[in-house]
Amino acid sequence: MSLPPRLEQWRCLDWPARALVAAGLAGIMAWVFRDLLGNCVSRWTTEPQYSHGFIIPIMAGGLGWMRRSQIPPGDARSHISGLLLTITGSLLHLLATYFYLEAFDAAGFLFCLTGIVLLVWGKRFFRGVWPAVLFTGFMLPLPFQLERMLSDPLQVMGATEATYFIQTFGIPAIAQGTTIVMGDIRLGVEEACSGLRMLMVFIAISAAAVIVSDRSRWEKILIFFSAIPIALISNIVRIMAAALGYEYADRETADLIFHDLSGWLMMPLAMLLLFLELKIIDLLYVEVPDAHPGLSFHRTESGITVSRT
């Protein structure tokens, strides 16, 4: 059997057998990490900030397929580093099971996944698709301590910043911790509205955009890290819209804005802000052709010739 045309330069005549071995090892890995994966599915289902976990494996597969042309030419050869990474991941899993450390289990999962790819498909294949392999880390929930460390400040920040913008509309408002007080109205910024969900989702989307884009390195870095302020701005706009709804409309309308419509509109708003960022980058960073062409030297049978480039 032959490879797809885009992969012909990467020679892997036994790819059906390798695919079968990879599927078997993936099944064993899923059984070993069944508690971690089961917990992931449970949290994807019950916790809004991790509901994006269902689509991360699909996105990772799509990213790997889009990067298939990045696989260096040559023969597919299994690499010993894959075995070492798999053993390391297994040890981390054992430590996590003994000491109840979920972060170690998540790290062990990524080590084993990376190790299987290297062990079965080799270094050439991994060099092309490694961003897609590591992208699966976005489906793993944050450690509880880190989640609490991020969620509480985000709730306070959301309430404080939203209060400032609410005041610009002439509405008397005071931020008391995670609560916005507007006269008789008390709007609480709960954990689900802290912005952590938006932050996690948009960082994953920005990472995917960076992986598939052909922009310069500094642009990719800027796009990736701009996910943080864009996600925070989107969440602040959501809280502010809800507060304005409670002030100028009835409670049912405000609840609709805060709990339903705003949740759906945050992502389009964030994508719009990202689009504007890219347009600003394109306007500020314009490639100018070299006004002073250089010289190129070519060796021929009659000697060396010089031409302008």
**Over residues 202-231, mean pLDDT:** 87
- Which one-letter amino acid corresponds to residue 191? E
pLDDT band at 130 (very low <50, low <70, confident <90, very high): very high
Examine the domain organization and report whether 25 and 115 are in the same domain. Answer: yes
- Predicted TM-score (pTM) of the model is 0.75
Alpha carbon distance 246, 222 (integer Å): 36
CA 14 to chain centre: 33
Residue 56 structure tokens: 């991360």
Res 166 pLDDT > 80: yes
**Over residues 33-58, mean pLDDT:** 88
Query: Which segments of the chain does DSSP mark as H helices, in order?
Result: 15-32, 34-46, 56-66, 80-99, 102-121, 123-135, 144-167, 196-212, 217-225, 227-248, 251-255, 262-284
What's the pLDDT score for residue 177?
A: 84
Contact partners, residue 149, CB within 8 Å, separation at least 6: none
Examine the domain organization and report whether 178 and 249 are in the same domain. Answer: yes
pLDDT band at 260 (very low <50, low <70, confident <90, very high): low
Range of the domain at 180: 145-284
Contact partners, residue 173, CB within 8 Å, separation at least 6: 163, 166, 167, 180, 181, 182, 243
Res 254 pLDDT > 80: no
What's the pLDDT score for residue 297?
A: 53
> What pLDDT digit, counting tens, does each position of 87-99 carry?
999 999 999 998 8
> What pLDDT digit, counting tens, does each position of 135-148 carry?
999 999 888 778 87
Alpha-carbon Rg for the chain, nearest whole angstrom, is: 25
Domains: count for the chain: 2
Residue 285 structure tokens: 């960073």
Examine the domain organization and report whether 98 and 149 are in the same domain. Answer: no
Examine the domain organization and report whether 112 and 219 are in the same domain. Answer: no
**296 occurs within a structural domain:** no
What's the pLDDT score for residue 148?
A: 79
Examine the domain organization and report whether 132 and 214 are in the same domain. Answer: no
